[in-house]
Amino acid sequence: MNRVFIAFGSNIGDRYETVSKAFELIEKNDMKIIKKSEIYETEPYGYKEQPPFINGVILVETELTCRETLERLLDIEKKLGRERIIRWGPRTIDLDIIFFNDDIYSEEDLKVPHPDMHNREFVLKPLCDIDPDYVHPIINKSVRELYAMLKEK
């Protein structure tokens, strides 16, 4: 069984309803949600001229491969109205694989662990809710340590 940490975010429409629908679709796509972080309202990252986000992280278990998980998440985003117009722009839903077991993928369209997660408070803080002792397989620091380092910057 694969353990996958998935970050979620939304800043268009009924954000909480969209996240709830995303969770339902995740469960219907062969991923069992094991843990959910708190949901945090956050300022936009990158492109600032947009409404605030709600963000969090879930832990799922699945028999799917990393590639299959990515494909299912992209399909869920599309079903929930995600349009990719502006990088880091507004979105109905964003679903990103943060960790897939301790595996490392470096393909053009599949990078795991997420290459910028250690710079994002809106990912690290909810990860700390779920598993603060999880160790990043490349950086070799726990989520708690990465969050503390980011807060020091």
Q: Is residue 94 part of a domain?
A: yes
Instruction: Classify burial at 117, counting beta carbons within 10 Å of its beta carbon; exposed 0-12, middle 13-18, buried 19 or more.
Output: buried
Q: Any idea what the CATH number is for the domain that residue 81 is in?
A: 3.30.70.560
Rounded Cα–Cα distance for residues 127 and 130 (Å):
5
Catalytic residue among 15, 94, 120, 131: 94
Number of helical H runs and strand E runs in the chain: 4, 7
Q: Is residue 137 part of a domain?
A: no
Query: Which domain covers residue 93, as residue numbers?
Result: 2-116
Catalytic residue among 15, 72, 82, 120: 82
Q: Is residue 129 part of a domain?
A: no
Kindly report the average pLDDT of the chain as a whole number: 92
**What's the structural domain count of the chain?**
1
Decide if 82 is catalytic: yes
Catalytic residue among 91, 102, 109, 133: 91
Rounded Cα–Cα distance for residues 109 and 150 (Å):
26
Q: pLDDT tens digits, residue range 85-105?
A: 555 567 789 999 999 999 999
Q: Is residue 45 part of a domain?
A: yes
Decide if 91 is catalytic: yes
Decide if 94 is catalytic: yes
For residue 90, the 8-state DSSP code is -
Q: Is residue 148 part of a domain?
A: no
Compare 43 and 7 and report the one with higher pLDDT: 7
Question: Reduced to 3 states, what is the DSSP secondary structure of residue 127?
Answer: helix
Residue type, 54: I
Q: Two tokens at 147?
A: 């969050």
Rounded Cα–Cα distance for residues 146 and 153 (Å):
11
Decide if 129 is catalytic: no
Q: Are 126 and 38 in contact (CB under 8 A)?
A: yes
Q: Is residue 140 part of a domain?
A: no
Q: pLDDT tens digits, residue range 49-78?
A: 778 999 999 999 999 999 999 999 999 999
Instruction: Classify burial at 121, counting beta carbons within 10 Å of its beta carbon; exposed 0-12, middle 13-18, buried 19 or more.
Output: middle
Q: Is the pLDDT of residue 153 over 90?
A: no
The neighbour count for residue 79, using CB atoms within 10 Å, is 13
Q: Two tokens at 74?
A: 């992209």
Note the pLDDT of residue 9: 94
Catalytic residue among 96, 109, 133, 144: 96
Residue located via tokens 């969770």 = 23
Q: Is residue 97 part of a domain?
A: yes
Q: Is residue 10 part of a domain?
A: yes
